[in-house]
Amino acid sequence: MDPVNILCVKWGTKYGPDYVNKLRSMVRRNMSRPYRFVCLTDDATGIDPDIEIFPLPKIGIPEFDAATGWTRLHGWLKVTVFAAPLYDLTGPTLFLDVDIVITGPLDAFFDPPGDFIVIKEWDKRDETGNTSVFRFTAGAHGALIADLSQSLASAQSDYRNEQEFVTSWFGRQGRMTYWPKGWCVSFKRHCMHRGIMGFFKPARIPEGARVVVFHGKPNPPDAIIGRSGKWYRRVLPVDWVRELWQ
């Protein structure tokens, strides 16, 4: 069986190297087929030596190639994974955000057919996807970068963030599909109890969930100690995040 790719991106200082190292550890425990684990980053300091590391790809868009740290272009830098070529990576590639917790086997993410498979955004009724977890073919979508290069100003005006642009681009071509419902869940939307019950019961893992996405606040280390990051939301300490996020 040919190896597949697991890919993540880290830049700036919002997420430290421990996020990459823990992601690598979670993948190791939840993948049985052969794979390469690759991190694209602007700073490899502290990342475990057994992780393959490449610099953030230069894609020929000056605003992206010069961006450093957590700038106004922060989320948009994720589109650099669509560089063609993407170093020596080829074939099926599963992109994972670093601020997730893996709760189940990942092998099945390589089974469904499709050019671009992504999470259906939970908070929107249109076709927008959430790019915390998506699968694509490495090096096969350079046209996305070319289109963005030709319309950068309008793209960043018309689309609120990278994931809206990317999922709209694939959607217009009829090349986007979604993960089966329940594979990827939101910590805030699906794990936390609603209303008054959130004050008495800690977040749980929904049945069948394989990846829990932490978007916004809290992040995994916040959930471990019961820190919500928002005055209007209470989060009790979550033992399963402590056990799995390592």
Q: Does 219 lie in the same domain as 153? A: no
Total structural domains in the chain?
A: 2
Q: pLDDT band at residue 38, thresholds of 50, 70 and 90?
A: very high
Contacts of 166 (CB under 8 A, 6+ apart): 78, 79, 82, 129, 131, 144
Cα–Cα–Cα angle for 211, 64, 142, rounded to 5 degrees = 70
Dihedral (CA of 60, 62, 64, 65) sign? positive
Q: Which amino acid is at 118?
A: V
Q: Does 205 lie in the same domain as 85? A: no
Of 162, 178, 194, which marks where a domain is finished?
178
Tell me: pLDDT of 1 over 90: no
Q: Does 173 lie in the same domain as 188? A: no
Predicted local confidence at residue 231, as pLDDT: 63
Alpha-helical (H) ranges within 48-141 are: 62-65
Q: Give per-residue pLDDT as tens, 147-170.
A: 999 988 888 889 988 999 999 999
Of 134, 153, 178, which marks where a domain is finished?
178
Q: Give per-residue pLDDT as tens, 22-33.
A: 999 999 999 999
Tell me: pLDDT of 69 over 80: no
Residue 138 and residue 155: Cα distance in Å, rounded? 23
pTM over 0.85: yes
Q: Find where tokens 């916004």 sit.
A: 216
In this structure, what token pair is assigned to residue 202?
């800690």
Contacts of 129 (CB under 8 A, 6+ apart): 118, 119, 120, 121, 163, 166, 167, 171, 176, 178
